[in-house]
Structure 1
Amino acid sequence: MINILIADNQPLTQQGIITFLTDVNSIHIVGKCGPEDLEAYLSHVQPQLIIISHEPEPNSNLTAIKKVKEKYKSLCILVLSNNVHKHEIMQVIDQGINNYISKGCSRDEFLEAVFATANGEKYYCKKILNILFGPDPIADKAEAVRMLSLREKEIIELIATGMGNKDIAEKLFLSIHTVKTHRKNIIKKLGFTFKHASELILIIGYLNDFFI
């Protein structure tokens, strides 16, 4: 049985989620609240999974999401949003949350997201994938990731932590020239600059998990 707490400010959205889940035998709704009341509810209910809304700024629930993620590390979090802005989606993903769906997704996608999240798997609905990676990105991106060497993936991960060429060279026992060459090859293969290293990590992780 998956015990779920719904954290959304809109009664219609709360009721819509409940309607979607009512006839699913393996799911139990333990409560519903607004994101601002989430911590209070968690003090007396013990859900396995939270479905929480993420609204555009200035009414963003990112602070509530951060607090829950930090305090309840074993809790599964599924973010539900009308958000169409890539940078705001990335703000949530940067908190280590890899389950994000649009409020416009289908019931089938919604149920897939719930079960994937409860099982500790990543899940993004098609609309969110399109916002993050562009229309129909999967085949091209998967092929690009296949072209990366293990060393190139390792360098991307180090860049994403904020390391520069010199630090990477020292850590991997390479010359700075070799590191620069790897960076050029990565950009050529993926078409990304390293202003968006976190997006590279997301692409590689997502495609490795599901498509490679």
Structure 2
Amino acid sequence: MIRIALADDHKLFAKGLEGLIEEHSGFLVQGVFPNGKELLEYLTEEEVDLVLTDLNMPIIDGFGVLKHCKKHFPAIKVIVLSMYDEEKIFKEVMQLGADAFILKDADPDELIFTITEVYEGRYVKNFQRVIQQANQGPFFDAFRDKYRLSRRETQILKMIADGMLNRDIADELNLSIQTVETHRKNINQKLQVNSLMDLINKVNEMNI
């Protein structure tokens, strides 16, 4: 069970994020806090494995949370949530010791995979991965509408159709091979295919 504490001053977003995370087995959101001060006070009394923190919060912001956690709670992993896909901000939080950086409008599955990879020590820190969270295109739109694939799943599907192997996909997207394999399994289930040939045929049927 991955024990999580969440700090964000937007109540609706925070509650929605809490519900999203707890839809998945193996995750427990122990507390949701409107600012960094209340979060840090909680951490002095309770043990968690991972903190999700917004950057812009009152009293103590995400930068303050990150600095304090890395100094006083080094065992706790910290994932920064942000609305801004700016490399300057990414580099700043990485220098402060953030374990991951994810956009607030990233796909839900991207958040879940990021939490899992950070917890298991497999997350690859790379700004291009952040940029890819926001990229879309006609291929994504068509498959999303018909098969309910996520942005990341659609991206990987196109790369599979282009003949790329799991290792190549992992390197290109700055993901672990295990993550790519999990995405492929989910893609096969959603498209109801059992082999690579069936998968390619499905892509060809979409004429994309």
Give the TM-score category using the shorter length. Answer: 0.5 to 0.7
Which structure has the bigger radius of gyration?
Answer: 1
Corresponding residue number in structure 1 for 2:152: none
* Counterpart check, 1:106 vs 2:107: yes
In 1, the alpha carbon distance for the partners of 2:120 and 2:55 equals 22
Q: Alignment partner of 1:31: what SS? A: strand
TM-score by length of 2: 0.57
Is the contact made by 2:102 and 2:111 (CA closer than 8 Å) also made in structure 1? yes
Corresponding residue number in structure 1 for 2:117: 116
CA shift digits 1:1-25 (9 cap, x unpaired): 1111111111012112112112212
* Counterpart amino acid of residue 26 in structure 1: G
In 2, the alpha carbon distance for the partners of 1:4 and 1:51 equals 7
Pairs within 5 Å for 1:11-160: 11-33=11-33, 34-55=35-56, 61-123=62-124, 128-129=130-131
After superposition, the CA RMSD in angstroms is 3.1
In 2, the alpha carbon distance for the partners of 1:88 and 1:76 equals 18
Corresponding residue number in structure 2 for 1:195: none
In 1, the alpha carbon distance for the partners of 2:5 and 2:124 equals 18
Q: Alignment partner of 1:73: what SS? A: coil
Q: How many residues align?
A: 137
Is the contact made by 1:55 and 1:83 (CA closer than 8 Å) also made in structure 2? no
Is the contact made by 1:102 and 1:128 (CA closer than 8 Å) also made in structure 2? yes
* Counterpart amino acid of residue 101 in structure 2: Y
TM-score by length of 1: 0.56
Corresponding residue number in structure 2 for 1:148: none
Identity across matched positions, percent: 18
In 1, the alpha carbon distance for the partners of 2:100 and 2:113 equals 11
* Counterpart amino acid of residue 102 in structure 1: L
Is the contact made by 1:55 and 1:82 (CA closer than 8 Å) also made in structure 2? no
CA shift digits 1:105-153 (9 cap, x unpaired): 001101101111111222568662459xxxx9xxxxxxxxxxxxxxxxx
Q: Alignment partner of 1:52: what SS? A: strand
Structure 1: 4+ residue segments shifted above 3 A: 123-127
In 1, the alpha carbon distance for the partners of 2:128 and 2:17 equals 19
Q: Gapped runs of 5+ residues in structure 1? A: 137-205
